[in-house]
């Protein structure tokens, strides 16, 4: 189908973009890479009167790795994440996950900010950012504020971002230790049936810290504090992994859809998480 008629705006800075959102209210939406919004407009699931394109906003671009601090502009593409050597060294988990998003054509256009901000439970980056304990910077008419990724998502497509706010950047600390992003999907380019992000550190034969997040298994990404906690102090053996899986299964709430029934999704989630833990432990 063809989208309904709309006016196109291409501001050059964040303040101008926010001003347009204020001016047009519910009729305006920002667009980054467009992979979520444009299909909804073509299907007439979203009726947008004013489209605010962020492609010319330079302050939303760029990757900074300074010491232990990492900052990513909202308009950075998945391809830029993959190609950035400093980022790959500081947070290899991010590159591993980005390589599993859709296909190269999508990754050259799709942005980190768009993936994070629209609240789609099938997107890969939200759970990943929760695993990394990232902070999102939002800018609106009243200035800027920061929100933890673990507090940002409320339900499917509903986040803490107000309609007249723009997500401008994502910040987190560089990580050391073991990492893994495991994803099961029906075909290349599809959303995950289940995906798991794991970060852990070890001292000798014991897990010291562990962070686990799951994707597309509830109406929001799920950071499972109990699952990570089940690994801490263990040797990451079979019993510890099964305890982590059991804790994760208590936190997710998958729904039946064309990717399978609920019990299948729960089974896949357990298998994926066990694989991710094993790889992260081996890399730690």
Q: How many CB atoms lie within 10 A of CB 17?
A: 24
State whether 102 and 119 are in the same domain.
Answer: yes
Quote the pLDDT of residue 33.
84
**Residues in the chain where the model's pLDDT stays below 70:** 1
Quote the pLDDT of residue 236.
97
Instruction: Determine, yes or no, domain membership for 2.
Output: no
Quote the pLDDT of residue 189.
81
Number of domains in the chain: 3
Quote the pLDDT of residue 48.
85
Helices within 84-224 (DSSP H only) = 85-90, 92-98, 104-107, 112-117, 124-131, 149-152
Quote the pLDDT of residue 257.
94
How far apart are alpha carbons 207 and 257 in whole angstroms?
36
Domain end marker among 108, 138, 173: 173
Instruction: Determine, yes or no, domain membership for 90.
Output: yes
Biggest CA–CA distance in the chain, Å, is: 62
Q: The domain spanning residue 203 has which CATH number?
A: 3.30.390.50
* pLDDT tens, position by position, 12-33: 999 999 999 999 998 999 999 8
How far apart are alpha carbons 85 and 165 in whole angstroms?
31
State whether 135 and 73 are in the same domain.
Answer: yes
Domain end marker among 153, 173, 193: 173
State whether 105 and 45 are in the same domain.
Answer: no
- Give burial (CB, 10 Å; 0-12/13-18/19+) of 44: exposed
Quote the pLDDT of residue 256.
96
Instruction: Determine, yes or no, domain membership for 98.
Output: yes
Nearest to 274 by CA among 211, 185, 198, 220: 198
Strands (E) across 141-185 are located at 143-148, 153-155, 158-159, 166-173, 178-185
State whether 69 and 144 are in the same domain.
Answer: yes
Q: Which domain does 35 fall in, by range?
A: 7-53
């Amino acid at each position: 189908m063809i989208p309904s008629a709309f006016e196109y705006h291409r501001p050059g800075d964040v303040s101008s973009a926010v001003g347009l959102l204020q001016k047009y209210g519910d009729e305006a939406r920002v667009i980054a890479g467009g992979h979520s919004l444009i299909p909804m407009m073509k299907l007439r699931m979203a009726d947008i009167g004013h489209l605010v394109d962020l492609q010319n906003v330079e302050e939303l671009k760029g990757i900074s790795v300074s010491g232990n601090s990492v900052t990513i502009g909202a308009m950075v593409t998945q391809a830029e994440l993959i190609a950035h050597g400093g980022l790959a060294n500081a947070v290899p988990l991010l590159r591993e996950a980005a390589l599993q998003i859709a296909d190269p054509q999508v990754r050259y256009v799709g942005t980190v900010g768009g993936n994070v901000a629209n609240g789609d439970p099938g997107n890969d980056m939200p759970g990943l950012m929760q695993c990394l304990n990232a902070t999102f910077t939002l800018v609106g008419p009243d200035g800027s504020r920061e929100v933890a990724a673990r507090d940002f998502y409320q339900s499917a497509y509903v986040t803490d971002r107000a309609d007249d706010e723009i997500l401008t950047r994502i910040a987190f600390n560089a990580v050391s230790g073991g990492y893994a992003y495991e994803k099961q999907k029906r075909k290349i380019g599809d959303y995950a049936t289940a995906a798991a992000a794991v970060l852990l550190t070890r001292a000798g034969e014991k897990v010291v810290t562990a962070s686990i997040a799951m994707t597309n298994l509830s109406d929001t990404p799920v950071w499972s504090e109990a699952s990570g906690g089940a690994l801490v102090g263990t040797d990451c053996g079979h019993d510890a992994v099964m305890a982590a899986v059991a804790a994760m299964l208590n936190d997710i709430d998958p729904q039946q859809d064309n990717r399978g029934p609920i019990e299948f999704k729960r089974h896949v989630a357990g298998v994926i998480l066990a694989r991710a833990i094993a790889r992260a432990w081996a890399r730690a």
